[in-house]
Amino acid sequence: QVQLMQSGPEVKKPGASVKVSCKASGYTFTSYGISWVRQAPGQGLEWMGWISAYNGNTNYAQKFQGRVTMTTDTSTTTAYMELRSLRSDDTAVYYCARDRSRSASPDYFDNWGQGTVVTVSS
Amino acid sequence: DIQMTQFPSTLSASVGDRVTITCRASQTISSWLAWYQQKPGKAPNLLIYKASSVESGVPSRFSGSGSGTEFTLTISSLQPDDFATYYCQQYNSYSTFGQGTKVEIK
């Protein structure tokens, strides 16, 4: 079965960076994309960006342009999301999700990771 | 950016009720819309894609309709397991979520 297993919780200071991993299994990794979505405490879902596991193409939400980098390692079927210059309002649960789009812009998300709590606090 | 507006933001209903949630896009998105259900402390779960296609394994009481800028998610007969928050998502141009609709017990 499809599984997306994310790395554990992180506590960071303002100005630092965080890198969250998402290990995929149970499907052909390069046939899909990965989108990253975050959810601040008590708030709704916010799409951050998408990466094609097929060719490495990325689309980032304008809000995160210049501050986020998404990558994949096809040899380990793992996706990564790095967010830099962290602020307190980056405190959220960060989800990876399997995106049905292989090589173009993002699509819909049919499987999700369990979420990674990132806390930004001085 | 395409903005997605969901309403109502909260809905109180009873088991057995027919429930409708609306999602409006700030510009046309054709049928590139999905619906998700999220329970507290859990990741979202895909219900509907391409506005009206029901994801495999999703109960038949869930249905979606609409195109262009106006979309609806309908639960034909609300069950105890359906009390949750629902989100729409457009994927016509990049991706955006609506702000969510919480379905509460009346």
The distance of B75 to chain A (nearest Cα, Å) reads: 20
- Verify whether the Cβ–Cβ distance A44 to B1 is below 8 Å: no
Q: Is residue B85 within 8 Å of residue B101, measured between CB atoms?
A: yes
Residue pair A78/A106 in contact (Cβ under 8 Å)? The answer is no
List, for residues A44-85, the tens digit of each pLDDT value.
Answer: 999 999 999 999 999 999 999 999 999 999 999 999 999 999
Q: How far is B94 from chain A (nearest CA, A)?
A: 6
Q: Do B43 and A115 touch (CB under 8 A)?
A: yes
Contact between A81 and A74 under an 8 Å Cβ cutoff? The reply is no
Q: Bridge partners of B12?
A: B104
**Digit-coded pLDDT (tens) for B30-71:** 999 999 999 999 999 999 999 999 999 999 999 999 999 999
Quick check: A19 pLDDT over 90?
yes
Residue A104 pLDDT: 80
Q: What is the pLDDT of residue A103?
A: 80
Q: Which residue of B has its CA nearest to A41?
A: B41
